[in-house]
């Protein structure tokens, strides 16, 4: 009876687990084998879970203490060598088999890439990723990752500060970015589209903002986009000819991802910019008595004075290098006008 219930429950459980849509779309060459591995784990573990649970519930019901049995002692048990051998060997075999499968799968999907494979350097810094690669048009560094479809790529993952984790769920790619070493990952994007890039390691107060995208393009589109980015390299992020106000606002709400300048709006509330973050102080409130020179000083030297109630070291101290002088001037002018109500 117990066996029959277990078999039925296992079958139902397996069907239920396999029918659920656990993962995002399969965006890379390694997604299918990893999802298959997951399915195998489900098929193996559901019956074990069901058998253990059924046995436990049955025992609780069958051998429960009845009224009047409070003072009775259970029969002494001297163990069973046969049972102990079985319950040692069976799990050992199951675990060894699954571990071997996992190890072979990992070696297989991470086997050395062919010579000439595209290399993308992934750099994590609090709180943004940037991506560097060599293209026909020259080296390109960008905040959005672009990849050509069906071309193998090798990621070299590094961190400039703390441990981050480079995660692209649609690719089934997840690898730590560890300061001081380079970790690697190989795969081939197999689906056109834009997918999420997430930091999967709690890396500080701005961790939640460490979200970017990867766009997989056809080879022709990729070449065009990269040529455009290569030409832009070194130029300020905003489009040429943009007005000072537009540059200032762009710096505030979007930062300069190409150089790793985090957007102010990711941490600060400022009404004119429409941002509502609360990691840092509300700029409309704290800057009322400050002029442009004072604001500039606070941006490039944020640790000189610390706003009461906030901690040192959270606001990036690198804006003097990640933004150009014209960008900083435009940003300060924009903030000055915004908080004093002239913008």
User: Any contact of residue 267 with ligand HEC (CB under 6 A)?
Assistant: yes
Q: What secondary structure letter does DSSP report for 310?
A: S
Q: Which residues contact 261 (CB under 8 A, 6 or more apart)?
A: 251, 255, 316, 318, 319, 322, 323
With CB under 6 A as the contact rule, which of the stretches 61-69, 96-104, 113-121, 310-318 interacts with ligand HEC? 310-318
To which residue do tokens 């704290």 refer? 286
Tell me which of 145, 210, 214, 273 binds Cu ion, using CB under 5 A.
210
Q: How far is the CB of 289 from ligand HEC (least distance, A)?
A: 11
Is residue 149 involved in binding ligand HEC (CB under 6 A)? no
- Full strand arrangement of the beta sheet holding 138-142: 138-142, 128-135, 118-125, 153-159, 183-187
Interacting stretch for ligand HEC, rule CB under 6 A, among 16-24, 72-80, 110-118, 306-314? 306-314
Question: CA-to-CA distance for 141 and 131, rounded, in angstroms?
Answer: 5
Query: Does 157 help bind Cu ion (rule: CB under 5 A)?
Result: no
Q: Is 299 in the site for ligand HEC (CB under 6 A)?
A: yes
From candidates 104, 243, 310, 320, binder to ligand HEC by CB under 6 A? 310
Determine which residue in the list 173, 217, 247, 266 makes contact with ligand HEC, applying CB under 6 A: 266
Find all residues with CB under 8 Å of 305, minimum gap 6, and list them: 298
164 binds, among Cu ion, ligand HEC, none (CB under 5 to 8 A by kind): Cu ion
* Three-state SS sequence of 126-153: CCEEEEEEEECCEEEEECCEEEECCCCE
Q: Does 314 engage in binding with Cu ion (CB under 5 A)? A: no
The entry of ligand HEC, Cu ion, none near residue 170 (CB within 5 to 8 angstroms by kind) is none
Q: Is 203 in the site for Cu ion (CB under 5 A)?
A: yes
Rg (CA), the chain: 28
| Backbone region of residue 182 per phi and psi (left: phi > 0; alpha: psi in -120 to 50; beta: other values) | beta
**In this structure, what token pair is assigned to residue 343?**
């913008």
Residue 268 binds: one of Cu ion, ligand HEC, none (C-beta under 5 to 8 A by kind): ligand HEC
What does 262 bind: Cu ion, ligand HEC, none (CB cut-off 5 to 8 Å by kind)?
ligand HEC
**Which residue ranges make up the site for ligand HEC (CB under 6 A)?**
206, 262, 264, 266-268, 279-281, 286-287, 295, 298-299, 302-303, 305-307, 310, 314-316, 319, 335
């Amino acid at each position: 009876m117990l066996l029959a219930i277990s078999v039925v429950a296992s079958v139902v459980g397996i069907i239920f687990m396999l029918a659920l849509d656990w993962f995002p779309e399969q965006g890379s060459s390694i997604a299918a084998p990893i999802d298959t591995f997951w399915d195998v784990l489900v098929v193996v573990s559901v019956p074990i879970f069901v058998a253990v649970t059924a046995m436990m519930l049955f025992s609780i019901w069958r051998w429960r203490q009845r009224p009047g049995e409070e003072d009775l002692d259970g029969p002494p048990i001297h163990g069973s060598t046969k049972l102990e051998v079985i319950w040692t060997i069976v799990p050992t075999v199951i675990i060894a088999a699954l571990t071997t499968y996992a190890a072979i799968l990992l070696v297989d999907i991470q086997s050395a890439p062919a010579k000439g494979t595209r290399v993308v350097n992934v750099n994590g810094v609090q709180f943004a990723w940037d991506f560097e690669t060599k293209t026909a048009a020259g080296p390109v560094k960008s905040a959005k990752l672009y990849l050509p479809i069906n071309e193998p790529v090798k990621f070299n993952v590094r961190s400039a500060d703390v441990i981050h984790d480079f995660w692209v769920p649609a690719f089934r790619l997840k690898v730590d970015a560890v300061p001081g070493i380079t970790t690697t990952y190989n795969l081939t994007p197999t689906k056109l589209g834009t997918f999420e890039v997430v930091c999967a390691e709690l890396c500080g107060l701005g961790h939640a903002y460490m979200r970017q995208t990867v766009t997989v393009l056809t080879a022709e589109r990729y070449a065009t986009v990269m040529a455009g980015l290569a030409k832009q390299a070194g130029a300020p992020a905003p489009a040429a000819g943009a007005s000072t106000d537009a540059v200032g606002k762009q710096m505030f709400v979007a930062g300069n991802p190409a150089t790793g300048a985090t957007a102010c709006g990711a941490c600060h509330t400022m009404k004119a910019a429409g941002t509502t973050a609360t990691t840092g102080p509300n700029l409309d409130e704290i800057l009322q008595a400050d002029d442009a020179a004072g604001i500039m000083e606070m941006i490039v030297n944020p640790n000189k004075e610390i706003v009461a109630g906030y901690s040192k070291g959270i606001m990036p101290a690198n804006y003097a290098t990640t933004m150009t002088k014209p960008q900083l001037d435009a940003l300060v002018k924009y903030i000055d006008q915004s908080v004093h109500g002239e913008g």
